[in-house]
Amino acid sequence: MWPLPYALARPGTYTLRVRRPKLLLPALLLLSLWAYIVPAHQPSTSQGTPSPSPVSPSLPGDLPPETMALFGKVRPATVQVESLNVTENRGGLGTGFFIDAGGHVLTAYHVVSTGQLFQVRTLSGTTLPARVMGFDARRDVALLQVGRGGPFPFLKLTTRTPRLGESVLAVGNSHGDFLQPRRGQLLRLNVEAGRADFPEDTMELSAPLAPGDSGGPIIDASGRATGVISYIRESAAGATQASYAVPLMQGSELMRALLRGEKRDTPVAGLVLDPTHSGQTDPPGAVVAHVVAGSPAEKAGLRGCAVDQNGNLKQLGDVIVQVNGTATPDANAFIRVVENLQIGQRVSLTYIHDGRQLETTLTLAARRDVRGLNDPSRKGPC
């Protein structure tokens, strides 16, 4: 399983025992984001039916005439988003779309979260500088402001709740494409809305999305944008299992906050959590897979898992059982407690280390300031 990236854990002696999971997954499922990783669990939902597996890619020539006509209308309002981190000398690529003629561009937050310089490339090939105007890290949505040009073609946001089963169109930049269509259906609403690592009211789609499509629009039959592409679920072989988007509505509180320029970050400590073993230990807790270098967690002395030269698990990482005296019996509980705290807040963590209960304190940092949480190359048995 890929580890759970979230960040952040009081004291006695315990014997650490790993409980055997009751069920074995028939195949390794990966939750893949462009520069972001979340646990590979099969999502549950309050509505809808399970999604097909895998999703077959489609080409523009495979699309019906009405879909191609819709694509032709909305494509000019979409852009390729390029992000550059000068300090680390690396960049990234995603998708976005104009929401007004004045140059406001919506995209996924993880597309721009580690960048320092940004630009968008329009359908005509014009490259325009942009800046991050506002974001909501927990919802994985960001708003860019293009520095010059305009007026721009734009997409109107929906004013209604999405409907199950309706056909949707996505536009993205995956597989080396430039602003190409991906068609599918809306399969489920409120996917894992109660789980800490999923944005609230996540929509699940059958559209064949892939890394590079993140931040692109989900468009209904009327040509209105209903959401922002956030992440996908892949099989171990890299085939798309399902795609997910964060819903947006015209005039919503989230959109008003973004347009006001609010930057809503989340508190973290610099830990990547282990979704496979979290909640399976005795006592139950959030198991640390990796500790990000230079993070508050590293300075507090927390330790991740150990593997042998073949990458096989040798030892579990520390198990966080309490935050500020509140029990954290699994990774989700841990994340929920931490996200209700404040950036810069001093917290007490109780954890199990080599069978001993220990306590440490650390100061929560802003997620944007903790590099390494979004490293897609970090994966392994723990």
In the numeric block, which tokens belong to residue 112?
């721009």
The residues with which 30 forms a beta bridge, in sequence order, are 234
| Residue 331 domain flag | yes
| Residue 314 domain flag | yes
Question: Which range marks the domain in which residue 321 is found?
Answer: 4-24+266-369
Report pTM. 0.75
Q: What pLDDT tens digit does each residue of the chain (382 aa) get?
A: 333 333 333 233 333 444 434 332 232 222 233 222 222 233 333 344 333 334 444 555 578 889 999 999 999 999 999 999 998 888 889 999 999 999 999 999 999 988 999 999 999 999 999 999 999 988 899 999 998 888 999 999 999 988 999 999 999 998 888 999 999 999 999 887 666 667 778 899 988 888 899 999 999 999 999 999 998 777 667 777 778 999 999 999 999 999 999 999 989 999 989 888 999 999 999 999 999 999 999 999 999 999 888 888 899 999 999 999 999 999 989 998 998 899 999 999 999 999 999 999 999 999 888 876 655 445 555 6
Among 229, 216, 181, CA closest to 69: 181
Among 111, 123, 179, 119, CA closest to 153: 123
**Dist. CA 97–CA 114, nearest whole Å:** 20
pLDDT confidence of residue 192: 73
In the numeric block, which tokens belong to residue 70?
């819709």
pLDDT confidence of residue 51: 37
| Residue 213 domain flag | no
pLDDT confidence of residue 258: 97
Number of domains observed in the structure of the chain: 1
Query: Which run of H or of E encompasses 4?
Result: strand 4-5
In the numeric block, which tokens belong to residue 20?
């055997």
| Residue 325 domain flag | yes
Can you say whether residue 30 is alpha, beta or left, with left for phi > 0 and alpha for psi between -120 and 50 degrees? beta
**Dist. CA 195–CA 91, nearest whole Å:** 30
pLDDT confidence of residue 361: 97
- Distances, alpha carbon 342 to alpha carbons 84, 298, 347, in Å: 28, 19, 10
| Residue 64 domain flag | no
| Residue 186 domain flag | no
pLDDT confidence of residue 61: 54
**Residue 255 DSSP SS3:** helix
Beta carbons of 121 and 127 less than 8 angstroms apart: yes
pLDDT confidence of residue 38: 29
Beta carbons of 7 and 367 less than 8 angstroms apart: yes
| Residue 353 domain flag | yes
CATH no. for residue 364?
2.30.42.10
Phi then psi for 116, rounded to 5 degrees?
-125, -30
Query: Which run of H or of E encompasses 128?
Result: strand 127-136
pLDDT confidence of residue 325: 96
Q: Judge residue 76's burial from the number of C-beta atoms within 10 Å of its C-beta, 0-12 exposed, 13-18 middle, 19 or more buried.
A: middle
